[in-house]
Chain A
Amino acid sequence: MATLSEEVDMLRKIPLFAGIDPGKLKLLAFASDRKTYKSGQDLFKQGDPGDAAYVIVDGSADVIIDTDAGEVVVAEVGSNEFIGEISILCEVPRTATVRSSSDNLETLKIKKEHFVGLITQVPDLGVEVMRELASRLSKTTAELGEARRELSNAKTC
């Protein structure tokens, strides 16, 4: 089992945490829970209130969205990825289900109050989170523009 310092190294590999003081990362690692999941077990379900974010330590998981046509896998996440943070930052329900796709998915579960607590303590992290969210927004906006264009193209055809 990994020790705290190994977990700190791992957290550092995540872009969001890369610039944070190691002491604070250690605190975050200390405060987070190690949780392992079997294949098929849900980390969280779409529509649930968000109470924690997860860092994937080892293994992979599917991001699944419920549609009228049933469940659709929209993405796969793997080691060193940080998931579930939107819901805890914006207080919205989970926008997707995350389900373990490997036999032994290892995660670090960071509770909402700890993550938010860290942001208030470390302004750099706040800026980092803002930058990450902004870049996602611009990406989503670009994709939306693309989708609209395709839609209007489809209509005119």
Chain B
Amino acid sequence: MERNLLKYVWKHSRPDQLWMLVVILASMPTYFLSLELPKRIVNDPIQGNGFENPGDTGQFLQFYMPFGESLFGEPVMLFQGFEMERVGYLLALSFSFLALVMANGLFKLYINTYKGRMGERILRRLRYELFDRVMRYPLSRFRRTKPSEIASMIKDEVEPMGEFIGDAFTQPLFLGGQALVALLFIMLQNFWLGIVTLIVVLFQAWLIPILRRRLIELGKQRQIAARRLAGRLGEIVEGIQEAHTNDTTNLERAEMSNILGRLFFIRFELFQRKFSVKFINNLLIQFLAFFFYAVGGYLAITGRLDIGQLIGVIVAYKDLPAPVRGLIDHDQKRLTVEVRYGQIIEQFTADELKDSALQKTPDGKVSAISKGYEVSKLGVVDDTGSKLLENVSADIGVDERVAIVGNFSSGADVFVGVLGNVIPSTSGKVLLDDIQIETQPEYITGRRLSYIDGSTFFPQGTILEILTYVLKNQPVREAERDTEEQKKYAFEKVEQKRSANYHLDFEADWIDYERLGLGDQEELTERIREVLTEVDMESDVRALGLRGTLDPDVYPELANAILEARSRFRARLQELGFDEFVEPFDPATYNNQSSIGENLLFGTATDKSFEADNLADNEIVLSVLKESQLDDDLYQMGIEVAHTTVELFGDLDPDNPFFDQLTYMDPDELPEYKTILASISNKSKEEISKKDKKMIMKLPLAYVEEQNRLGLLTDDMKNRLLEARNNLREKLLALPDSPIAFYEPDTYNSAASLQENVLLGRVSASVAEGNERVSLAIRELLNEMNLTDDVFRIGLTFNVGSGGKRLSEIQRQKLHLARALLKQPDILIVNQGLNNLGAREQGEIINMILEKSRTEGVAPKGVIWAPISPSFSELFDRVIVLNDGEIVADASPEELRNTSSVYQELLA
């Protein structure tokens, strides 16, 4: 990349910059005239020069050639002008002034917009180029670079460049032009005033850069410190658990404070210097003011300069500091931005990048791997210079099933990493189909090989997105766009080209069904189900589906089917023997398995103020309770609950195991309740504070008679609660946007999960294994109704969360393997990729994959596996044993068991 920012900008925006130059030059005359006119207005029509006698006229728009007198000895009139009277002349000049100001403004508007767009384009190009480099970094580079530093560079550090780029050439031209015009104007009025001004400006131009040298250095330091801040922040957040489990949060605080401190002092010095430079600047400019008033005034008094000229000079002078200061500021900006740019480019060019040709999309079909690996004299040395592999030679055919084993430091994992093209070889040859693997284009290594290791990182997304990621190598079908979108896209394409961004359409359909031998999305889902079944994750996905929600507007048929399942399930409760312990949500009856609050709401809250914790001071809820005369009863009940709880738990340590049975109160709040009870003992309800009242009211709302068994809820209260439930419902339904999705026997509740929607009720906690039995029954029912497919599909839309953390480690590893299989590679390479799974399950999965591989015409043809336990190698056809970075044995497992002592040891 270009190391100098100005050269970079010039290279990518030459025509635009030249056009800007033309426009700016064109704007200069109007600017000059807007300076000239006020002088003319004051001198001629107002002060009466040339209007000494009534009836005198002035020549409007009469124009002499500048310097005509000195060049030709007499004034050269270029335009005769129009003859006008004094007032008419004044008005004509004033209107001309107005027009000029307008023209000036329009020029500015055009120039600003134009250069803004130019800057954004180059910023986009720059960011894209930097990202392109990240894509081409060798993988080893990422071991030394913090992800958040890269993000900080591409996102934040280049940002100020966008503003500058537009100004890079135009601003100095524009401002310099203005300054020159102003200077010229002053010179035309009085040569010596002009000369003095020029000297002051030149002095400035000499002094300022000297003062700024230190600023450049500081700018560099600031950038590095800020980047370090971003890098460390990212690291700390990623390893946040370590800080807690090792009690090092204070160490992290100290380090952060240290970094912030360094940043502070750099920035502080920067400001100090900046402002002193500004001070000197202002001083010099103000000196000019003094000079104009004193000397110009003297010249005017002595009659060597007329008043109009002096005003003109002063107006010009007033306009002079702005461009001069602008120029100085611009130069300042240029310095900082160039430093930044240089810094970034240095960061991004330090390494050998992968040839971009390796990452091109292929022309036509990608041919399958036909031969396999030929490895000869392979050596790998790591960053620190220690040898990981030495003199490793082995040929592995495309249809072989090979286990690569060795103890911890044997290099088996490194060897597999080299075969998977994620670890570069230092010496020797690794040929994949006769071509050194590093020079094989990625459309071969990335599509025809599947490589996975034990890492379990996934970006945020749904399971479906994660699985299909590996199928999206290039757009296959064009995106469907209506005319409006088509227009937008055409425009976007032009812009893409202007900033040399990639030309593939992100919105297009990238999934190549044909390569997988599939017709459409439907068949792909079916294939995904097969693959997930193979890695034993299909039932997990279905369980996620049952826990997931669905939008009945998007899936109206499924929502209806679930409703059907609900009514069938209700009909079945009795025959399953569940009728005693599943209590369906029925608007007309009190649900004994739910808390009083839940009974009141009778739905799922979609608004925070209606969530369980906030009910006790929700105005609407409280008013409804009052209407049914429940407020006093519940308040009394709250006091009773508080009393009992304090009595039961009052003298226990806060970490006593009994506290986990306390469902309606936070154990930490117990002391608070003690104080409240003591303080309200002889007060009426009206006298106690709002906060205390809320604390008391919280208790009954969370109370479940069936579970907590304090014997406080009477049938009469239940009836009144039902009445309150109806009132509340009416009130909330009258609102434009109901904060509750109510439980209704024949409507799908979009805020509740699939399973909750089938059940629409609550399982009694008192029945042994009640929940398990009910979910099993629900699954069976959905199975009978042929809804499993749909549940599975909903499961695929489960969002795995940041880094995939909403899935277990085991699920994530299975998902990794599943997508490696979904790709249908020629060779599947697994580098201890299932190390979180139990031995039995690992064995089953390995067996299944080997079985597939032995079947003709089913991918993968070959399997290379570094199993976590050498005993699994018995399942393979061939075993390569490594020890201390060298191959010590290479044969079938049967043979090795008899011949290789290292292998025998490994198995032992």
Contacts and interface: CB of A to CB of B under 8 A. Distances in A.
Contacts of A43: 768
Nearest to B709: A4
Interface string A1-30: 111110100000000000000010011011
Contacts of A30: 648, 658, 661, 708-709
A18 to B, nearest CB: 20
B327 to A, nearest CB: 77
A117 B768 contact: no
Interface string A30-42: 1111111110010
A114 B577 contact: no
Contact of B710 (A4, A27, A31, A34): A4
B766 A34 contact: yes
A113 interface: yes
Contacts of B658: 27, 30-31, 114, 117
A36 B648 contact: no
A36 B661 contact: no
Contact of A5 (B649, B711, B765): B711
Nearest to B767: A36
Given A35-B766, A113-B657, A26 B648 contact: yes
B765 A33 contact: yes
Nearest to A105: B768
Nearest to B768: A35
Contact of A23 (B648, B765, B768, B769): B648
Interface in B758-791: 765-769
A155 B769 CA distance: 49
A80 B708 CA distance: 21
B766 A36 contact: yes
From A7, A29, A34, residue with most partner B Cβ within 10 Å = A34
A37 B658 CA distance: 24
Contact of B768 (A1, A41, A113): A41
B767 A117 contact: no
A13 to B, nearest CB: 18
Contact of A36 (B649, B709, B711, B768): B768
A3 B710 contact: yes
A73 to B, nearest CB: 20
Contacts of B647: 23
A18 B487 CA distance: 86
B250 interface: no
B442 to A, nearest CB: 52
B708 to A, nearest CB: 8
A113 B656 CA distance: 9
Given A31-B658, A31-B661, A38-B577, A1 B648 contact: no
A4 B708 CA distance: 8
A35 B767 contact: yes
B505 interface: no
Contacts of B709: 1-4, 7, 29-30, 34
A114 B657 CA distance: 6
Contacts of A121: 652
A4 B645 CA distance: 12
B648 A27 contact: yes
B713 to A, nearest CB: 10
Contact of B711 (A3, A33, A34): A3
Contacts of B657: 111, 113-114, 117
Interface string B660-691: 01000000000000000000000000000000
Interface string B694-721: 0000000000001011110000000000
Interface string B631-651: 000000000000000011100
A1 B706 contact: yes
Nearest to B705: A1
Contacts of A34: 709, 765-766
A23 to B, nearest CB: 7
Contacts of B766: 33-36
Nearest to A118: B658
Interface string A63-94: 00000000000000000000000000000000
Nearest to A35: B768
Interface in A83-123: 111, 113-114, 117, 121
Nearest to A2: B709
B802 to A, nearest CB: 34
Contacts of A32: 661
B714 to A, nearest CB: 12
A37 B768 contact: yes
A21 B274 CA distance: 79
A36 B767 CA distance: 5
Contacts of A37: 768
A33 B660 CA distance: 12
A35 B767 CA distance: 5
Nearest to B592: A1
A141 B783 CA distance: 56
Most chain A CB within 10 A, of B581, B706, B765, B767, is at: B767
Nearest to B645: A30
Contacts of B711: 3-5
Contacts of A114: 657-658, 661
A117 B710 contact: no
A4 B644 CA distance: 11
Interface string B724-739: 0000000000000000
Contacts of B708: 30
A113 B766 CA distance: 19
User: Which of B648, B649, B706 has the most A CB atoms < 10 Å from its CB?
Assistant: B648
Contacts of B661: 30-32, 114
Contacts of A113: 657
Contacts of B769: 41
B765 A27 contact: no
Nearest to A27: B648
- The residue among A2, A35, A111 with the most chain B CB atoms within 10 A of its own CB is A35
Interface in A104-157: 111, 113-114, 117, 121
Nearest to A113: B657
Nearest to B766: A34
B662 to A, nearest CB: 8
A2 B706 CA distance: 9
Nearest to B657: A113
A120 B657 CA distance: 12
A29 B644 CA distance: 13
Contacts of A23: 647-648
A113 B767 CA distance: 21
Contacts of A117: 656-658
Nearest to A100: B768
B870 to A, nearest CB: 32
Nearest to B658: A31
Contacts of A41: 768-769
B647 to A, nearest CB: 7
A81 to B, nearest CB: 18
A27 B768 contact: no
A101 B657 CA distance: 32
Contacts of B767: 35-36
A37 B581 CA distance: 11
B646 to A, nearest CB: 12
Given A1-B706, A5-B711, A114-B661, 6 more contacts: A3-B709, A3-B710, A27-B649, A35-B766, A43-B768, A121-B652
Those 9 A-B pairs whose CB atoms lie nearest each other, nearest first:
A3-B711, A113-B657, A34-B766, A31-B661, A4-B709, A35-B768, A31-B658, A27-B648, A117-B657
16 contacts: A1-B706, A3-B710, A3-B711, A4-B709, A4-B710, A29-B709, A30-B658, A30-B661, A30-B709, A33-B765, A33-B766, A35-B768, A38-B577, A41-B768, A114-B658, A117-B657
Interface of B: 577, 581, 647-649, 652, 656-658, 661, 706, 708-711, 765-769
Interface of A: 1-5, 7, 23, 26-27, 29-38, 41, 43, 111, 113-114, 117, 121
